[in-house]
Structure 1
Amino acid sequence: MKKYLSFCLLALLALMAPAKRAFAQGPVGLNHIALYVVDLQKSADFYKNVLLLPEIPEPFKDGKHVWLRIGPHSQLHIIQGNKAQDHDINTHLAFSVKDLSKFMAHLDKLGVRYGSWKSEPGKTTPRPDGVKQIYLQDPDNFWLEVNDDKF
């Protein structure tokens, strides 16, 4: 009887182990990023016209939310209601573009200020792996990096 109980306990533990591993699995992808902004329309226009992110339907329909596509399965949720504040460049969203020079020309055409990590206007910052980066701020002073990473 003792051997039978030990066997049942081991069998039960063996059956639970895969479920526990599956449950303990980490994230499978980035779902969304939410930015709490002062002026919803101004921020939405920036992300749609400057970063060229497409708007997607949002379920709230309350005039306080705009959702944008930032990847195949990722979204940027812009939510109105924040108070104006400064943000440090170390906290930033990073986007990759196929052609950084073309994107910089797009920013120039729109009159959007951008520069290197050290705030040198119109300059790029090279990462140690050769990727070039620029930095700009949205209407709420959130920092954005745009780079030419080919990952």
Structure 2
Amino acid sequence: MKTKYLLTAFILLFFSFSFAQAQSAARPAIRLNHIAIYVQNLEKSTSFYKNVLQLEEIPEPFHDGLHTWFSMGAAGQLHLIKGANGTVERNKNDHLCFSVASIDDFIANLQNHKVKFTDWPGTAQKPTVRVDGVKQIYFQDPDGHWIEINNDFR
């Protein structure tokens, strides 16, 4: 009787493992590693992402004065690369998005740093409230890259 239960448990375990392997094999093994942003003034952009967005600066391997790396947690890293020539007009649809626990606290930080923000249509100093209740704001970094901040923090 004991052998029958052990055999049943082994068979269930084997099929569970096989099913899990088949499920993971069906999905590609891919994850975001980093996003690179080309900037004109590395020091100014580093200060912006460190102080305004409050990202954690992490060591970068090049040590050439042309790179700053930031951690974005499980999402990967953000790399700033010095060398962009001139300002490019950017569309708001092309943006980075970060979620925060308190959008009001984040707005206070933006105001502290004198960073202007808008809602999606462009109304100054006003958040957009999406149909699902998520609040979001938009602003630009020193090179004009659009950034969205929302409170969809889970």
- State TM-score, norm by structure 1: 0.81
SS at match of 2:147: strand
- The equivalent residue for 2:73 is 71
2:62 equivalent to 1:53: no
- The equivalent residue for 1:144 is 147
Q: Where in structure 2 are there 5+ consecutive unaligned residues?
A: 1-20
- The equivalent residue for 1:32 is 34
- The equivalent residue for 2:131 is 128
Poorly superposed stretches of 4+, deviation over 4 Å:
none
SS at match of 2:119: coil
In the aligned structure 2, how far is the partner of 1:25 from the partner of 1:121?
42
- The equivalent residue for 2:98 is 95
* Displacement of 1:22: 3.8
| Correspondences of 1:112-127 after superposition (within 5 Å) | 112-127=115-130
- The equivalent residue for 1:41 is 43
SS at match of 1:102: helix
* Displacement of 1:85: 1.1
- The equivalent residue for 2:82 is 80
1:52-78, CA deviations, whole angstroms, 9 ceiling, x for partnerless residues? Answer: 001000001110000001123511000
In the aligned structure 1, how far is the partner of 2:75 from the partner of 2:53?
18
In the aligned structure 2, how far is the partner of 1:148 from the partner of 1:40?
28
Distance 1:109 1:76, change over 3 A: same
Please give the root-mean-square deviation of Cα atoms over the aligned residues, in Å: 1.8
Q: Work out the percentage of aligned pairs sharing the same amino acid.
A: 48
* Displacement of 1:25: 1.2
How many residues get paired?
132
In the aligned structure 1, how far is the partner of 2:80 from the partner of 2:106?
23
Which amino acid counterpart does residue 52 of structure 2 have in structure 1?
A: V
1:96-117, CA deviations, whole angstroms, 9 ceiling, x for partnerless residues? Answer: 0110001101111111100101
